[in-house]
Each structure stands twice: as structure tokens, then as C-alpha cells.
Amino acid sequence: MEWMKILKYASNHPIRAFHTGVAFFRGGYYRYKYRLLGKKVVIGLRFRVYGRGLNIRGPGTVIFGDDCTVITYNKAPTTPYTHSPDAIIHFADRVMIASSRFGCMKKIEVGYGAGLSETRIMDTDFHQVEVSDTLRYNTEGIAKPVSIGANVWLCPNSMVLKGVTIGDNTVIGAGAVVYENIPSNVVAIGNPARVVWHLRGKGPIDPLKNKK
């Protein structure tokens, strides 16, 4: 029955089905590419990549759950970069990532069904803030984990800084800079990001949480 639905959809939407097929093929390409390169990259089922700009670097671990989608371009790549062997970037199931950039020294978690649109997420400053006799670009910052909740939407040019937790179903507006925790079910905008609207509804249910 599932194959019949797929064939019916493909016959009704041939161009869209073609692009989806190419995206699945590219997903498989990246799966085997990083395996052959010996990278600590784990990719779940039905991984899709639209475009050719997925670039994973660093000695840490990058994990994609099932049904994740990457939409990317050569001039605006998606870059999950890790900067230490213990660093972990973890995307839960059904996360959509569009030309987003990551810098991780410790841990960045993205929850079920979140959408990331040309955003930047960093769990460290990559340099110390205090003045010393060493040039800042030769120093290391303090890393604090970042947690993005389920069904969160991060709009273009937003930035999430170290130590931040964003609650489920929240929207972070375009150009917002998030440097402190944002609760669930709100819209936050500005620099620094401030809550301007409270949302109703429960959002989609993560099947894994539903089983617990």
C-alpha cells in the first residue's frame, strides 16, 4: 500500500518526485562519503539533501535522526562544524536545516521537527572576553551547551549563543540574537531577543516521547 501511494504521488507530481528522488540519492552520497572519510557522522533513515553545500568538519560527532532534510547551496552552505573530539551536534528526527551554520565545542541539540533557516548556532565564543596579555584570537572561550526545543523555528539571520535553551514550539524572528533562555510557545524578536507574543497549541508530538 505504501508503494502504491508513492507511485500515485509521483504520477501526479512528476517534477517534485524527481527532485525528491535526487535529494534521497544525495543523502545516500553524504552517508557513504563521511563513512569513507572516517568521520564521526551518524545519519538516520530517509535522509534528504537538496543542493550540494553540506559540509561537515571537525573531530567531534554529528548525528542526524530519521527523516532529516538539508536544503543548501554552494554559496550558502550548511556547516555543522565541531571543534573538539568530545563535541556533539545532535539533530533529532524530522529536523529541517536550510543553509545553517554551527560551531560546537561541547554540545548542540536540536529537537524533533525543528526548522532552521539560515541561522547560526554556537556553544562558545571561541575567545575569552576578559582583557589579558594574549591576543583574543589566540585564546579559547568557555563552552556551554545549546538546546533547541521541538518544533522550534529559527528565522533567517538569527543567532543563538552559548548556554541558551529555547523551549518547544517557539519562533525566533529574523535577525534576532538569543543570548539567554527563551520559554516554550512564544515569538521572540530583536537584539537581544525579547518575547513579544505568546502562542497557543501543543504542537506535533514526538513519537519517541510518546512511547515513554
Residue 20 clears pLDDT 90, i.e. is over it: no
CB atoms within 10 A of CB 189: 17
Per-domain boundaries in the chain? 2-195
Grade residue 3 by pLDDT with cuts at 50, 70 and 90. very low
pLDDT of residue 19: 76
Grade residue 18 by pLDDT with cuts at 50, 70 and 90. confident
Q: b or e along 88-127 (b: 16 or more beta carbons within 10 Å of the residue's beta carbon)?
A: bbbbbbbbbbbbbbbbbbbbbbbbbbbbbbbbbbbbbbbe
CA 210 – CA 40 distance, rounded (Å): 29
Q: Which CATH superfamily is domain 2-195 in?
A: Hexapeptide repeat proteins (2.160.10.10)
pLDDT of residue 15: 72
Tell me how far CA of residue 166 lies from CA of 41, 145, 146, 171, 201, in angstroms: 25, 12, 8, 9, 17
Grade residue 7 by pLDDT with cuts at 50, 70 and 90. very low
Helix (H, G, I), strand (E, B) or coil at 147: strand
Residue 53 clears pLDDT 70, i.e. is over it: yes
Across the beta sheet with 159-160, the strand order is 79-82, 101-104, 120-122, 159-160, 177-178
Q: Is the overall model pTM greater than 0.75, yes or no?
A: yes
In this predicted model, what pLDDT tens digit does every residue of 155-205 receive, in sequence order?
999 999 999 999 999 999 999 999 999 999 999 999 999 999 999 877 777
CA 165 – CA 168 distance, rounded (Å): 10
CA 176 – CA 157 distance, rounded (Å): 7
pLDDT of residue 163: 96
Residues 6+ apart with CB under 8 A from 118: 76, 98, 99, 100, 156, 157
User: Are 80 and 56 spatial neighbours (Cβ–Cβ below 8 Å)?
Assistant: yes
CA 118 – CA 8 distance, rounded (Å): 33
How deeply is 53 buried, as exposed, middle or buried, from its count of CB atoms within 10 A (0-12, 13-18, 19+)?
middle
User: Are 44 and 38 spatial neighbours (Cβ–Cβ below 8 Å)?
Assistant: no
pLDDT of residue 5: 52
Average confidence (pLDDT) over 53-82:
93
With vertex at residue 41, the alpha carbon angle to CA 30 and CA 111, rounded to the nearest 5 degrees, is 100
In this predicted model, what pLDDT tens digit does every residue of 82-139 receive, in sequence order?
999 999 999 999 999 999 999 999 999 999 999 999 999 999 988 877 788 888 777 7
pLDDT of residue 139: 75
Number of residues that this document lists for the chain: 212
